[in-house]
Structure 1
């Protein structure tokens, strides 16, 4: 604690600011969150209702002669649109690249610098005492600890899946996870300022070192420092399970130590809300877990109906499939947390994976009428009793899981024997792209990133069929290593092309990037999709009688896709609104961002009638 030898007037003023400045900082943060919420919900409402009033405009453009790439003279009416697109490019497509695997967009850089500067300003502002001594230690030493404590509820809330910040702003918890790490590391800096100043005043520090509240404060600072070290991306990606265990234990040590340390000076009211937010999030997740997996808890007959089958698609990808609970619904692009006690080291470990299947009845085969139809319906029901035998991408929950180390490596060993495992599902989480108001949608995926883009493709087709979307063209780009990997989603792609209405152009580009793909004749891949006769004389419906390789609008090429050229061509031949969604490795995401920067999305291009482009980058792998 700071020295009490200061004059009484100084002490009164200092203590007043101790109470006032954390509250004023929160007022500023509340205003910032409110502004973000206004922009987010405004963008959501504009996207939702943008279809209204655009019909006549698009109809007039469709009757204009010449290709869409011919732009008009600059229009002042498009100035706001040009401004919005310029902001998107500067904030989200210009990046700072750190190494080969870490990328920060300028919005994230701004948030990091602004938040750190914001708290440091509140830390050192008005630290001149009444005698004129600047940066008086008694003014800013204790204030650093109180400011850090005041931010802990925000840090905790941002780290939970069900939090009020996501509810207010509409920004998903996954997107807020970066801000969670920024706020935690900023608090660590403030706490080191607080602790370092106490050590500087060594006589007071030494005199109170035997007190439990001071030792608990030191333990809390050490725990937070270790947590910030193990939370850097190389640790999270390379040793996620180690990070998971360390995060759980170190957070508990930090919050308990900080609470009892702050309680000594009567500021614990800033810290106990963190326990409330954490407990509320866990309570909600447990309730969802019980509701979606109630058969395991004896509330309904049929225990084990949600046991999952595993299949090793290739050395690095596992497909996990389980029956969709009747009351479990999700939107394209959302994730679910899977708990597999027999695979994980701790029984309550939850790992997030994107749901690769589509929650819709549009693609389910409709039985024909009459006797033959009855037989077909019975046959269909028979196959449904065998998990994964009918329409796997819309009758089940399907996950394509990248094999890394630890948990996924053990899951790979189970999948190698096609074993069944008990799975508890928690979710769904995350946003779903609303593409109904876009004239063209481009979906880019690398490897298992198709888990995200495939359901979005199916959703676009369904929305167009139901009259809920004005989309005229959808482009599906998938970079995959081997030719035989196409069978992962062959049936889904075939049905998507078959059911696409005539008003929607579906272009599918599959690029084979593996070294062996060059020597593999593409025609041999078709043998993977031909029907095979079962032991009962019937053709298992899991096998497709058609290959996506021979469907119209499908192009298969060898080598990495030239995303820069492909995206620029789509932009230059498009009018209206364009959406680009990408899920893949960092090189793929970087290539997409680079292609959609200036001059493609320049204000001059927008003013002359160019498309308004929205980019959505889905994280690939661990956060």
Structure 2
């Protein structure tokens, strides 16, 4: 008969009474088994709680840094609202202060990125790399720091010290590993970031938990094989077979969550990921079998995941009016699709740059998954019935977008139902409080920068912004690639005061001869050279260039010529963001040295949805 649990669920904690020790143990051995960091009966306190404290401390540091940014941003917003010239006027001409330099140092770490070109691998920002390195050093140090790793006398305990401690370290990691993965993310809320930026910590904490699980498992196998009792214990002991039952899906989760397999087969990966995670959690729950405070970590994990999932489900049902919102699907030039979601609920408020998760109920099997898309344009009162709507523009690639493209092919205004969850992300500071804003977009990354451009243009018209200049740089493959946004660009040009808005359009795979006659009027003579790059023009009209944008030159030129503060917002492919990130990081070093007119540079980058 298979015994799944040795105690009922109502028993949450095991006893801590070690009972009588074996009389064959020496005084030295007795002292060792009762010593802090080696005592089996307090290992959950020594290692599990220490791991929890480490992660809480890291989140606390991130929260303090975020609150500093928030307070500084709100101070500037209040100064802008009160038109305090002492703050917003000539004061910006002074050299960077100590706080400016410290801010630049932190933003250098959050901007700097690395690439292994041969492998096509892009690192997270340097700040995330340092945080992951700190996690790794802590976990490995806590596992390996205390000796001995094995008992000299098997009567001192069946669980070796290194196996005991690594098991509790793995349990301590578990609630945070799950918390990092949720969309409604409580860690992200208090640390001032978005859920997708915590995915790197989800993956690395999962890997560290897996390493700790292996270190927990292998000593048991080694000692039992050595003593000739491995087969007997595997067949008769609950902790043995349940441990391997948990380790199998954990191995699958870790190995297939990295690299090309996840990216290439994402639709299948996502479904199997949830299934394997469920098997893993059930098996691990059985394996821990109420030992000491082990189940407390499950209650914490269940609270973090369950509450986030419940709130996400309720919000999705509310925003989607239960059965789904009506949407219209239409094709756009150069492989783009536009989805207009009609009749948004009154309390659905979205700020420029935020994204939503959309589930297309008319997309066949793809209706079982949701995908993130940036809201390119909120629409209000333009549909005749006064209902609010939102436009989502997406490029056709594969999976869901390909299925949508096939359904819309050759048709006009295909209707379907969608479920919508969000909004998420966005810009954490008010860009209107910066003296200059530089918007950089690669391809469909314009869905992130366009709403920001429109918001700034409207505020500049009303005089509700500190910003005196906005540069909009767009890189597309063909002239048809930006046809869907021409109306918005024209509107932004009409709203912005003369001389405040500068646009540069870079067509990367297009010859001059194929440009429209109206566009040729704005093409400079250097457009004939595919290697010539230029900065945004000083005129209010758009400058069209047949070359890739030289992002480092554009960003450094903006930093050198800005007196005061500069904000950079970028969205595009990985290589596009790499150039933008590292150029901003170089400019942060200049501020740290105390040189230049620019006192502060803020960078916001978004994933290429």
TM-score by length of 2: 0.82
> Aligned to 2:134, which of 114, 117, 123?
114
Q: Which runs of 4+ in 1 moved over 6 A?
A: 129-133
Whether 1:127 and 2:119 are equivalent positions in the alignment is no
Instruction: Say whether the 8 Å CA contact 1:78–1:607 is kept in structure 2.
Output: no
Q: Which moved more, 1:255-264 or 1:321-330?
A: 321-330
Q: How far off is 1:31 after superposition?
A: 2.2
Counterpart CA distance in 2 for 1:244 and 1:518 is 44
> Aligned to 1:208, which of 233, 240, 244?
233
Counterpart CA distance in 2 for 1:149 and 1:315 is 50
> Aligned to 1:381, which of 376, 384, 392?
384
The residue aligned with 2:188 is: 166
> Aligned to 1:461, which of 435, 457, 473?
457
TM-score by length of 1: 0.81
Instruction: Say whether the 8 Å CA contact 1:453–1:583 is kept in structure 2.
Output: yes
Decide whether aligned partners of structure 1 residues 175 and 90 sit closer, same or farther in structure 2, where only a CA change above 3 A counts: closer
Aligned residues between the structures: 545
The residue aligned with 2:357 is: 337
Matches within 5 A, 1:405-416: 405-416=398-409
The residue aligned with 1:521 is: 515
Counterpart CA distance in 1 for 2:150 and 2:251 is 35
Q: Secondary structure at the match of 2:376?
A: coil
Instruction: Say whether the 8 Å CA contact 1:36–1:169 is kept in structure 2.
Output: yes
Counterpart CA distance in 1 for 2:432 and 2:490 is 22
Whether 1:398 and 2:391 are equivalent positions in the alignment is yes
Q: How far off is 1:132 after superposition?
A: 9.3
Decide whether aligned partners of structure 1 residues 205 and 10 sit closer, same or farther in structure 2, where only a CA change above 3 A counts: farther
Matches within 5 A, 1:80-479: 80-97=99-116, 99-128=119-148, 138-201=160-223, 202=225, 203=227, 205-210=230-235, 211-263=237-289, 265-266=291-292, 267-294=294-321, 296=323, 306-314=325-333, 316-327=335-346, 328-345=348-365, 347-358=367-378, 381=384, 396-418=389-411, 419-433=414-428, 434-479=430-475
Instruction: Say whether the 8 Å CA contact 1:22–1:147 is kept in structure 2.
Output: yes
Specify every segment of 5 or more residues in structure 2 that has no aligned partner in the other structure, as ranges. 1-20, 521-536
The residue aligned with 2:12 is: none
Q: How far off is 1:426 after superposition?
A: 1.0
Instruction: Say whether the 8 Å CA contact 1:578–1:613 is kept in structure 2.
Output: yes
The residue aligned with 2:574 is: 586
Matches within 5 A, 1:588-603: 588-598=576-586, 601-603=589-591
Instruction: Say whether the 8 Å CA contact 1:475–1:508 is kept in structure 2.
Output: yes
Q: How far off is 1:95 after superposition?
A: 2.6
Counterpart CA distance in 2 for 1:559 and 1:40 is 38
Q: How far off is 1:23 after superposition?
A: 0.9
The residue aligned with 1:535 is: none
Instruction: Say whether the 8 Å CA contact 1:482–1:517 is kept in structure 2.
Output: no
- Cα deviation 1:139-191 (Å, max 9, x = unaligned): 11121111101211111111111232123222221211211111111101111
Q: How far off is 1:9 after superposition?
A: 4.3
Instruction: Say whether the 8 Å CA contact 2:315–2:421 is kept in structure 1.
Output: yes
Counterpart CA distance in 1 for 2:389 and 2:211 is 47
Q: Secondary structure at the match of 1:326?
A: coil
Instruction: Say whether the 8 Å CA contact 2:340–2:392 is kept in structure 1.
Output: yes
Q: How far off is 1:57 after superposition?
A: 5.6
> Aligned to 2:605, which of 581, 593, 617?
617
Q: Which moved more, 1:343-352 or 1:405-414?
A: 343-352
Decide whether aligned partners of structure 1 residues 167 and 88 sit closer, same or farther in structure 2, where only a CA change above 3 A counts: closer
Instruction: Say whether the 8 Å CA contact 1:96–1:105 is kept in structure 2.
Output: no
- Cα deviation 1:15-52 (Å, max 9, x = unaligned): 22343221122223222211210111111221222252
- Cα deviation 1:181-224 (Å, max 9, x = unaligned): 11111101111111122221124543321234422221221211
- Cα deviation 1:592-618 (Å, max 9, x = unaligned): 123223367414664443341111111
Counterpart CA distance in 1 for 2:174 and 2:588 is 42
Counterpart CA distance in 1 for 2:372 and 2:266 is 12
Counterpart CA distance in 2 for 1:38 and 1:26 is 18
Q: How far off is 1:93 after superposition?
A: 1.7
Q: Which moved more, 1:91-100 or 1:187-196?
A: 91-100
Q: How far off is 1:473 after superposition?
A: 0.5
Counterpart CA distance in 1 for 2:134 and 2:592 is 30
Instruction: Say whether the 8 Å CA contact 1:601–1:613 is kept in structure 2.
Output: no
Instruction: Say whether the 8 Å CA contact 2:338–2:394 is kept in structure 1.
Output: yes
Q: Secondary structure at the match of 1:560?
A: coil
Whether 1:34 and 2:29 are equivalent positions in the alignment is no
Q: Secondary structure at the match of 1:104?
A: coil
The residue aligned with 2:86 is: 56
Decide whether aligned partners of structure 1 residues 525 and 230 sit closer, same or farther in structure 2, where only a CA change above 3 A counts: farther
Counterpart CA distance in 2 for 1:108 and 1:43 is 18
Decide whether aligned partners of structure 1 residues 244 and 130 sit closer, same or farther in structure 2, where only a CA change above 3 A counts: closer
The residue aligned with 2:485 is: 489
Counterpart CA distance in 1 for 2:149 and 2:136 is 25
Counterpart CA distance in 2 for 1:293 and 1:231 is 31
Counterpart CA distance in 2 for 1:358 and 1:307 is 15
Instruction: Say whether the 8 Å CA contact 1:89–1:601 is kept in structure 2.
Output: yes
Instruction: Say whether the 8 Å CA contact 1:580–1:614 is kept in structure 2.
Output: yes
Q: How far off is 1:310 after superposition?
A: 1.6
